């Protein structure tokens, strides 16, 4: 028997403008539970805006987005949204930023338990036990009592991932999680994300790491000028793109000289 398919994200006709700059011009897609979606596309095409809209870090101007599956939260952003609904909507997803944004004056362990203890009001010992497990998962158990400045960029980014997971989101959103890292540190972060995909987390990853997207994702969205120009499995969108603009973009990334 096949398991019932549940979409953890259903986004329909999402629009977002900054002033008269229309950045998202009607974006629709779904992300099935336990799958990874890579978002690729030229700089300025609206990838970050889309990810921040999904998380409601910036509210879209219009569009209906359901995050979290059957028990999740659906918001119609063309209508007024109550603060309570917005808070419940935001709690469905975790966000990993381009550069970590950890609290500099808190230890690694405190950074990971901050959200569960102060936002979710979970018991501190329980949150710590979970945090230790997450730190093991990202390979940083021995760094629990260190401060962010004592860690490499790759280690800081892995703490950022543990911190997002600690809130037990239904979906984890990554905005170019390796683009601020020195090249030799990229692999350790991608490897942690790959492990999450294998474990069955539902992930959406904006990335320029094309080989990673090809290996790890189930679906690739190619964004261009505020729309999804092409979407499908990586073997199609990356391996055999239909659109000329997708081909040009991939060619520029894969053959920069
Ligand atoms: N907070 C903002 N205020 C005004 N314009 C913005 C803001 N964020 C993004 N933009 C504009 O939206 C467009 C898309 O940006 P972005 O989503 O960051 O693209 P990408 O992540 O694909 O490089 C750009 O033209 C950018 O200048
Ligand atoms: Mg961006």
**Which tens digits make up the pLDDT trace of 216-245?**
999 999 999 999 999 999 999 999 999 999
Strand ranges for 33-79 from DSSP E: 36-40, 62-67, 73-76
Q: Which residues contact 198 (CB under 8 A, 6 or more apart)?
A: none
Q: Is the dihedral of CA 120, 172, 31, 65 positive or negative?
A: positive
Give the span between the Cα atoms of 30 and 96, in whole angstroms: 20
Instruction: State the ligand closest to the CA atom of 24.
Output: 1
Q: Which of 16, 23, 174 to mutate to test the pocket of ligand 1 (most atoms within 8 A of CB)?
A: 23
With a threshold of 0.85, does the pTM exceed it?
A: yes
Instruction: Pick the atom of ligand 1 nearest to 176's CA.
Output: 21
User: Which helix (DSSP H) or strand (DSSP E) does residue 246 occupy?
Assistant: helix 244-254
- In the reported structure, the alpha carbon of residue 19 is separated from the centroid of ligand 2 by a whole-number distance in angstroms of 18
Is any atom of ligand 1 closer than 6 Å to the C-beta of 207?
no
Ligand with smallest separation from the Cα of 179: 2
Position 199 pLDDT exceeds 90: yes
End-to-end CA distance of the chain: 50
pLDDT exceeds cutoff 90 at 116: yes
Q: Report CA torsion sign: 30, 33, 35, 37.
A: positive
**pLDDT class of 96 with cuts at 50, 70, 90:** very high
Q: Is the pLDDT of residue 127 over 60?
A: yes
Residue 31's pLDDT is 98
CA of 59 to the centre of ligand 1 (A): 14
Q: CB of 16 closer than 6 A to ligand 1?
A: no
Give me ligand 1 centre to Cα 128, in Å.
Answer: 37
Q: What is the mean pLDDT of residues 77-88?
A: 96
Angle of CA points 152, 112, 83, to nearest 5°: 125
Identify the nearest ligand to the CA of 177 by its number: 2
Inter-residue contact 97 to 176 (CB < 8 Å): no
DSSP 8-class letter at 143: G
Query: What atom in ligand 1 is closest to the CA of residue 42?
Result: 22
Q: Among residues 196, 102, 210, 105, which one has the least CA distance to residue 155?
A: 102
Q: Which residue puts its alpha carbon closest to atom 16 of ligand 1?
A: 46
Per-residue pLDDT tens over the stretch 21-73? 999 999 999 999 999 999 999 999 999 999 999 999 999 999 999 999 988 99
Average pLDDT of span 171-194: 96
pLDDT at 155: 97
């Amino acid at each position: 028997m096949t398991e019932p398919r549940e979409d953890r994200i259903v986004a329909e006709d999402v629009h977002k403008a900054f002033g008269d700059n229309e950045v998202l011009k009607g974006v629709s897609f779904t992300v099935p539970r336990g799958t990874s979606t890579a978002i690729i596309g030229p700089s300025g095409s609206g990838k970050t805006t889309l990810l921040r809209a999904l998380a409601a870090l910036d509210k879209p101007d219009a569009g209906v987005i359901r995050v979290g599956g059957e028990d999740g939260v659906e918001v119609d952003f063309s209508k007024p949204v109550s603060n309570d609904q917005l808070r419940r909507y935001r709690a469905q997803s975790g966000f990993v930023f381009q550069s970590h944004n950890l609290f500099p004056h808190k230890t690694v362990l405190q950074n990971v338990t901050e959200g569960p203890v102060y936002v979710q009001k979970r018991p501190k010992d329980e949150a710590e036990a979970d945090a230790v497990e997450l730190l093991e998962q990202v390979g940083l158990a021995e760094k629990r009592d260190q401060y962010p400045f004592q860690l490499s960029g790759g280690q800081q980014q892995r703490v950022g991932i543990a911190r997002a997971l600690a809130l037990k989101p239904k979906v984890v959103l990554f905005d170019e999680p390796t683009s601020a890292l020195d090249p030799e540190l990229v692999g350790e972060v991608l490897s942690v994300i790959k492990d999450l995909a294998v474990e069955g987390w539902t992930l959406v990853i904006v990335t320029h790491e094309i080989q990673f997207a090809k290996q790890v994702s189930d679906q690739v969205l190619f964004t261009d000028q505020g729309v999804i120009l092409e979407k499908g499995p990586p073997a199609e969108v990356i391996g055999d793109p239909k659109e000329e603009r997708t081909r040009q973009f991939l060619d520029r990334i894969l053959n920069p000289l």
